[in-house]
């Protein structure tokens, strides 16, 4: 999946989006829409599936984001689940230590934890580390940041200094709209920061 994500980012940067979207739609229509043996499918990612552009061949899609409470308990592991996972592997740890390393993120009214970090920690016999570092590619963020306005760059600097930042977030932002306006970059950053 990381290879696919990396390919999408490179294609978006190099403007081969049309080819990718055609291949993606063909695959998804075959796998999800025309597949008589599949009752339901779930697509996950950091950006919204744009039903009215790239994936117009797929209908009946529902999109739930970290801003929606409907499935908030499914966007990671809860603190209760994290504790249970450590206990199931007989790994002594405290939630305070987990919070210090992985901080959790707010989804609806719940604090959730990134599954990759928690599973990697448990698989590493409870050794805390920064497991997410090399799980993806930052080329798209670099490209967007290099072409961002001074205002966006100042906001990004605030984030890097762990300062709070309040920005409007449009949960309908789609991958192909990232370079259209200033808010798109911050919305993308908001979504990526959590994962």
Along the 195 residues of the chain, how does pLDDT read in single tens digits? Answer: 455 555 656 655 556 666 777 777 788 788 888 888 988 887 776 666 555 555 566 667 777 777 778 888 888 899 999 999 999 999 988 889 999 999 888 777 888 998 989 999 999 999 999 887 665 666 767 777 787 788 888 888 887 887 877 777 776 666 656 666 666 666 666 655 544
Sheet holding 110-113: strands in order across?
77-78, 110-113, 105-107
Rounded to an integer, what distance in angstroms lies between the CA atom of residue 106 and that of residue 88? Answer: 25
> For the whole model, what pTM was predicted?
0.63
Domain ranges, ordered by start, for the chain: 72-123, 139-194
């Amino acid at each position: 999946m990381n290879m696919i994500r990396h390919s999408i980012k490179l294609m978006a940067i190099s403007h081969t989006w049309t080819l990718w979207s055609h291949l993606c739609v063909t695959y998804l229509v075959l796998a999800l829409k025309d597949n008589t043996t599949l009752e339901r499918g779930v697509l996950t990612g950091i950006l919204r599936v744009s039903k009215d552009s790239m994936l117009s061949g797929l209908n009946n899609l529902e999109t739930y984001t970290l801003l929606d409470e409907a499935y908030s308990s499914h966007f990671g592991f809860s603190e209760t689940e994290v504790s249970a996972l450590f206990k199931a592997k007989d790994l002594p740890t405290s939630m305070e230590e987990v919070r210090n390393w992985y901080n959790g993120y707010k989804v609806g009214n719940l604090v959730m934890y990134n599954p990759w970090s928690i599973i990697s920690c448990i698989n590493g016999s409870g050794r805390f580390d920064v497991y997410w570092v090399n799980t993806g590619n930052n080329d798209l963020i670099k490209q967007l940041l290099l072409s961002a306005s001074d205002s966006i760059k100042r906001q990004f600097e605030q984030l890097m200094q762990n300062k709070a930042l309040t920005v409007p977030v449009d949960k309908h932002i789609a991958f192909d709209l990232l370079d259209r306006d200033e808010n798109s970059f911050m919305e993308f950053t908001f979504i990526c920061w959590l994962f």
